A = this chain, B = another copy of it.
Amino acid sequence: MKSQALKGHLDLLLLAILAEGPAHGYAVIEALGVRSDGEFDLPEGTVYPALHRLEKAGLLGSEWSVVGGRRRRTYAISTQGRAALTEQASAWDRFSSAVARVIGDHSANGEPSWA
C-alpha cells in the first residue's frame, strides 16, 4: 500500500474497453464516452500515448489497416493484458471502497483526536 496508493486509472479503463474486442484509438475514445454516459471525453493526447505505453508494456498488440481510405491502428488486448485487467479491476474495487469509507461515515463526531 505504501507504493503508489493513489495511482491513475486510465490503464484500467482502456483495458476494460479493449477486453470486449479489438478497436482503434478513436473508437476507444468514443466507447469511453458512450459507456460512461459522457463522463469521459478524453483528449487524444491523453489516450494515444497511453495506448502506446500499454503496447510497449505487452498488455496490448496492434495492427495497421486501411478502412475507407483512412489508416487505422487497431489494438487488441493480450493475455498479459487480461491478467493486468483482472488485477487492476480488483485494485479499483479496493481503492474505491476505501475512498467510500473515508468520505462516507460523517457521523462519528466525538472528541477530535488532537484534544
A38 in the interface (beta carbon within 8 A): yes
Q: Does A17 contact B (CB under 8 A)?
A: yes
- Nearest CB of chain B from residue A33's CB, rounded to whole Å: 9
Asked if A66 is at the interface (CB within 8 A of a chain B CB), the reply is no
Q: Is the CB of B99 within 8 A of A23?
A: no
Q: Which of chain B's residues have a CB closer than 8 A to the CB of A20?
A: 106, 108-109, 112
Cβ 8 A contact of A36, one of B17, B40, B89, B101? B101
Q: Is the CB of A102 within 8 A of B41?
A: no
The interface of chain A, by Cβ under 8 A from chain B, is 1-2, 5-6, 8-10, 12-13, 16-17, 19-24, 27, 31-32, 35-43, 46, 67, 72, 74, 89, 92, 94-96, 98-103, 105-106, 108-109, 112-115
